[in-house]
Amino acid sequence: MPRSHGPGAVFKWTLLAPLFALLLFLVPVFLLQLYFSVHSWTIYLGSWWDAEFVWFDVFQEVLSDPRFGWSIVRSLVFAGVSTLGCFAVGFGLALLMYRPFRGHGLYYAFFILPMLTVPIVIAYTFEMLLYQKGPVNGILSAVLGTDVNVIWLADPRIAVLTTVLLEIWNWTPFVFIIMMAGLAALPRDLEEAAQSLGASRWRIFLEVKLPLLRPVIFLALILRFLEAIGEFPKTWALFQGGPGTATETIPVYLFLTTWTYFHVSRGAAMSYVVLLLMVGIVLMAIRMLRREKRILDRLYQAPAARP
Amino acid sequence: MTRQARRRLFAGFRFTMLTLWLLVVAFPMYWVLSTSFKPGHEWFAWPPVYWTSEPTLDNHRAVWVGETEALRTQEAFSMQKPLLALQHSLTIALIATTLSVSLGTLLAYGASRYRLLSERRMFNLLMLRMVPPIVVAAPLTLYYSALNLLDTVTGLVIVYVITTLPYSVWMTKSFIDEIPVEVEQAAAILGAGRWRTIWEVTLPLVRSGLVATFMFVLILAWSEYLMALILTKTEVVTLPVQLAKYEGSSEGRVYGRQAALAVGITLPLIIIGCLIRKHLVRGFSFGMVKR
């Protein structure tokens, strides 16, 4: 199949068809979204096509809603902290694991399990573990020798911590696997060269390995951050935004607005704000990733290109 | 400190840390598994029952077969559904995954061999999947109700195909990229048409990769919760949604039953995941990690 004369038109369009089908399906959804965000409509106001056109009133309403603002802040903090947590644990484990040793396979198999568990299952599992007279407090009491009564699920401040810990438990394997792959792909010759020059392990890590790993680190951090902003099942199943509004992240507040308060218009307007925010973040992430990938490609091609 | 002492110290440190995390990972899983075998009075016992002395299959039986006393007296309504949910979850996940991987392979082939879309444009397009799906959820519901797709298997299949397509494309593309073009050119010289070349030369060569992609996407479709929650009401029910329904059941928390259902939902994924664990990184990294 010579690349020179390119594919035939029919063939080419068949290959691309899925993409167009996808767009064709999604465009009306976004148009509908737009319609709702400039109309004032809730479920109680009759049929949606009779809704009143209000220009940008809904947007104004939404943007001056402090609860919405806080949900954004909360989401960013939640995503940031849980990303850092996942990264610290995942990278740490990968560093301890990437050289084979006895029992390596067993640890590896166990470490990736949480990622393979359905998020909603994780939520209910931890509900069983964390209620006040539950096994986690039981174990803590036994280990520490005093009665531990951490209110994991009902105290607003601790509830936030609980969501973060769950996210870390769930997605540390993701960072772990990616960092393992990154570490395994490190070219050994550079390390050996540094070693023969008498560099200490610590310096080799800081000055040889870490720079080579940078693209992979970026990838892990970015993907984890983006996914964490969208996290819904665990937070929703355990807290529904409560206690109070302590765990009301963007997805939870959007869900509440649309399906509990039935403010469809407000939900749509908020969605647009979030969409813009997210597209901004994603575009930034893409630029960063692309820059890193260029560096990566250059690094890995360089030895081969040298005469 | 001698070199050997240092090495032993490191091995000890590594063992301690890894084992600590192993406990953190394994304990919740052990707890669900053991709870699913506990009789009702042990679900909330204090001090907690770490090792049940009277294991029972009642929970599993109640969930999947539904013939115990508990079923008839208490949870009749919510108990009826798990089998239906299993059936729906299986159907939806299998159809959606098959479609997603087939369409994804087409796109990936075009991208890999003909650069129909530049890698850059494709990357941008597919990164958009990182936008949380909740932002389109509300209009999607209305759109679906207009198309009569609400509460149908087809409706969920379409959504799952769309949301998993990026992963299908990137994963299969990374496999196709590894097959040298020369092999296909040879087939072309022997007179095989384009489609025949793909079907008889390329696809067999990436078969194991396609299987891995299929399983990976299957995991995504099987565990999805949000879309299933908002796009279905009563007719169609998937396992994650079914699991959440136990929360609202009239007699409060039924941990044993939940645990039994949770075990049933999770077990297939763990088996699949262990089978494809070498390929997992491709699905996540969008082809960014070199091997």
Q: Is the pLDDT of residue A51 over 80?
A: no
Percent of chain A predicted with pLDDT > 70: 94
Of A18, A169, A227, the CB nearest to B103: A18
How confident is the model over B194-222, as a mean pLDDT? 90
Of A4, A118, A166, A176, which to mutate for an interface test with B (greatest number of B Cβ within 10 Å)? A118
Choose the most confident range, by mean pLDDT, from A235-244, B43-52, B112-121, B122-131. A235-244
Residue A43's pLDDT is what?
A: 73
- Band (pLDDT 50/70/90 cuts) for residue A112 is very high
Q: Is the pLDDT of residue B90 over 70?
A: yes
Partners of residue A48 in chain B, C-beta under 8 Å: 142
Q: Find, in chain A, the residue whose alpha carbon is nearest to that of B265.
A: A118
The span from the CA of A222 to the CA of A175, in Å, is 11
Residue A191's pLDDT is what?
A: 82
CA proximity to B254, closest of A127, A178, A268, A224: A127
Residue B251's pLDDT is what?
A: 55
Partners of residue A16 in chain B, C-beta under 8 Å: 107, 110, 116-117
The span from the CA of A126 to the CA of A105, in Å, is 26
- For tokens 């870490």, what's the residue? A210
Q: Is B206 helix (H, G, I), strand (E, B) or coil?
A: coil
The span from the CA of B115 to the CA of B280, in Å, is 25
Give the mean pLDDT of chain A. 87
Q: E strand or H helix at A52, and its extent? A: strand A52-53
Residue A301's pLDDT is what?
A: 64
Q: Is the pLDDT of residue B248 over 70?
A: no
pLDDT, tens only, B134-145: 988 888 988 998
Q: Which residue has the higher pLDDT, A302 or B25?
A: B25
ipTM confidence score = 0.89
Yes or no, beta carbons of B134 and A169 under 8 Å apart: no
Please list the alpha-helical segments (H only) found in B111-206: 119-127, 137-147, 153-176, 181-189, 194-197, 203-205
| Identity at B243, one-letter amino acid code | L
Question: Which of residues 87 through 126 in chain B touch A, CB cutoff 8 A?
Answer: 103-104, 106-107, 109-110, 113-114, 116-117, 120, 123-125
Of A19, A93, A128, the CB nearest to B107: A19
| Size of chain B, expressed as the number of residues it contains | 291
Q: Is the pLDDT of residue A57 over 70?
A: yes
Of B135, B246, B267, B276, which to mutate for an interface test with A (greatest number of A Cβ within 10 Å)? B135
**Among A211-215, A295-299, B3-7, B10-14, the least confident range:** A295-299
Q: Is the pLDDT of residue A4 over 50?
A: no
pLDDT, tens only, A196-209: 888 888 888 888 88
Please check whether residue B31 touches A, CB under 8 A: yes
Of B16, B32, B134, which to mutate for an interface test with A (greatest number of A Cβ within 10 Å)? B134
The span from the CA of A77 to the CA of A280, in Å, is 17
- Band (pLDDT 50/70/90 cuts) for residue A305 is very low
Please check whether residue B154 touches A, CB under 8 A: no
- What's the DSSP call for residue B238? -
Q: Is the pLDDT of residue A185 over 90?
A: no
The span from the CA of B60 to the CA of B151, in Å, is 27
Alpha carbon of A182: minimum distance to chain B alpha carbons (Å): 6
pLDDT, tens only, A150-172: 888 888 889 999 999 999 999 99
Yes or no, beta carbons of B138 and A11 under 8 Å apart: no
Q: Is the pLDDT of residue B60 over 90?
A: no
Partners of residue A295 in chain B, C-beta under 8 Å: none
Q: Is the pLDDT of residue A292 over 90?
A: no
Q: Which residue has the higher pLDDT, B95 or B82?
A: B95
Q: Is the pLDDT of residue B24 over 80?
A: yes
HSE-CB for B134 with a 13 A CA cutoff: 29
How confident is the model over B106-128, as a mean pLDDT? 79
Partners of residue B286 in chain A, C-beta under 8 Å: 219
pTM of the model: 0.90
Residue A303's pLDDT is what?
A: 53
- What's the DSSP call for residue B224? -
- Cα–Cα distances (Å) from A259 to A128, A242, A268, B141, B231, in that order, read 27, 16, 12, 11, 12
- Band (pLDDT 50/70/90 cuts) for residue B290 is low
How confident is the model over B146-171, as a mean pLDDT? 91
**Among A94-108, A248-262, B228-242, B277-291, the least confident range:** B277-291
Give the mean pLDDT of chain B. 85
Please check whether residue B281 touches A, CB under 8 A: yes
Residue A2's pLDDT is what?
A: 45
Yes or no, beta carbons of A258 and B269 under 8 Å apart: no
Choose the most confident range, by mean pLDDT, from A3-17, B42-56, B266-280. B266-280
Residue B262's pLDDT is what?
A: 93
Burial class (CB within 10 angstroms; exposed 0-12, middle 13-18, buried 19+) of A89: buried
- Band (pLDDT 50/70/90 cuts) for residue B219 is very high
Question: Which of residues 133 through 152 in chain B touch A, CB cutoff 8 A?
Answer: 133-140, 142-143
How confident is the model over A112-118, as a mean pLDDT? 92
Please check whether residue B240 touches A, CB under 8 A: yes
